[in-house]
Structure 1
Amino acid sequence: MEPIELELTLNGITMPVLVLWDLPVTTKDELFTRVHEELLRRDQVRPSYLNGVKEREQRYPTGLDFGAFAVALPHVDFEHVLRPALVVALLREALPFQAMDDPTRQHLCRLAIFPVLTSGEAQLAFLQAVTCALQQPGFYERFIALQTPQEISVCLQEMLQIAVNED
């Protein structure tokens, strides 16, 4: 499937969302490179983004275990970002990501969500929104079964709305 481009609003900031569905990558390096190329083409990040995301993932792993599934939330320091964006990648095959809470463990992640944000406040709000939504019964299963850009957009908006309603 070709990349899907949408828009979402988080904390009053409207940002582009790039959805990479059924992505046929076999390594994290391949995934990070693909995301970097897509963001660079859209002038969202600096050329340093690729090394930044790899280095940060090495230092601060982002694999999150939700019990029946795991999700990766790779992100970078702000100096690599030109304009806020979000990348949602549903991988054809799950990739191993080190656990955020214990780097000696790995989680197989089929969903990788890349917040490309310019402030700590926005990043924290987004990470809370994602974590909150993924804890909702059935949300992950419903999300990975989506087929159309419209369905994906509605579900992403719902994800952000869940977090707002939890506050």
Structure 2
Amino acid sequence: MALIEENLILLDIQATDRNDALSQIAEHLHKDGFVKASYRDAIINREANFSTGLQTATIGVAIPHTDAEHVNTAKIAVARLQQPVTFQQMGDGQPVAVEMIFMLALKEPHAQLTMLQNLMTMFQNTEVMSQLIHAKTSAAVLAILNENNIN
């Protein structure tokens, strides 16, 4: 079963700040039953304590995730923001203007590690990141992700 579905790719959402963006994406996962009601608060709390922002050569991204106990079915939601919101950089806490969020709702620690490694590889590819930021449809984003082992 695919981790990313076309209906979990949200393009050009409007968010006032980091928590608003996280809430919108988490609610999308919740309404489809992939995560428990506790997931939204868990993801916001974890992001406040363990930042997941990352400045790539192309754009700022974030990879929020939380404990498997909040997940019903393993999925990944992807959101492209209309305007960047500020996250803190992994490691040093510096501000990052995030344009894309890859929200992981995974149940297996091993799967999470593998997915993080695949995402990091993709983030280093400036051509792929440019394609993602300019893709016109969710289907186009999904095809790019599949080509880069994000599935």
Q: TM-score, normalised by structure 1?
A: 0.83
Runs of 4+ off more than 3 Å: none
Look up the equivalent residue of 1:14 and give its one-letter code. Answer: A
SS of residue matched to 1:67: coil
Work out whether residues 52 and 89 of structure 2, in 8 Å CA contact, stay in contact via their aligned partners in 1: yes
Aligned counterpart for 1:147 among listed residues 136, 139, 145: 136
Work out whether residues 65 and 103 of structure 2, in 8 Å CA contact, stay in contact via their aligned partners in 1: yes
Look up the equivalent residue of 2:45 and give its one-letter code. Answer: E
Give aligned-pair identity as a percent.
27
SS of residue matched to 1:138: helix
Q: What's 1:66 paired with?
A: 56
The yes-or-no answer on 1:44 pairing with 2:44 is no
The yes-or-no answer on 1:114 pairing with 2:116 is no
Report the RMSD for the aligned CA atoms in angstroms.
1.4
The yes-or-no answer on 1:126 pairing with 2:150 is no
Work out whether residues 9 and 142 of structure 2, in 8 Å CA contact, stay in contact via their aligned partners in 1: no
SS of residue matched to 1:14: coil
Question: How many residues of Structure 1 are paired with residues of Structure 2 in the alignment?
Answer: 148
Larger radius of gyration: 1
Q: Can you give the 5+ residue segments of structure 1 that lack an aligned partner in the other structure?
A: 1-12, 162-167
Alpha-carbon distance, 1:159 to partner: 1.8
Work out whether residues 16 and 84 of structure 1, in 8 Å CA contact, stay in contact via their aligned partners in 2: no
Q: What's 2:19 paired with?
A: 29
Work out whether residues 99 and 107 of structure 1, in 8 Å CA contact, stay in contact via their aligned partners in 2: yes
Aligned counterpart for 2:3 among listed residues 15, 37, 58: 15
Indicate the structure with greater strand content. 1
Alpha-carbon distance, 1:124 to partner: 0.7
Q: How far, CA to CA, are the matches of 1:111 and 1:72 in structure 2?
A: 7
Once the two structures are superposed, residues 118-143 of structure 1 have per-residue CA deviations (whole angstroms, 9 ceiling, x without a partner) of: 01111111111111011113111111
Q: Can you give the 5+ residue segments of structure 2 that lack an aligned partner in the other structure?
A: none
Work out whether residues 11 and 138 of structure 2, in 8 Å CA contact, stay in contact via their aligned partners in 1: no
Q: How far, CA to CA, are the matches of 2:107 and 2:12 in structure 1?
A: 28
Q: How far, CA to CA, are the matches of 2:50 and 2:115 in structure 1?
A: 17
Alpha-carbon distance, 1:16 to partner: 4.2
Q: How far, CA to CA, are the matches of 1:47 and 1:150 in structure 2?
A: 28
Look up the equivalent residue of 1:46 and give its one-letter code. Answer: K
Look up the equivalent residue of 2:103 and give its one-letter code. Answer: F
Check 1:158–1:34 CA distance in 2 against 1; reply closer, same or farther (3 A cut).
Answer: same
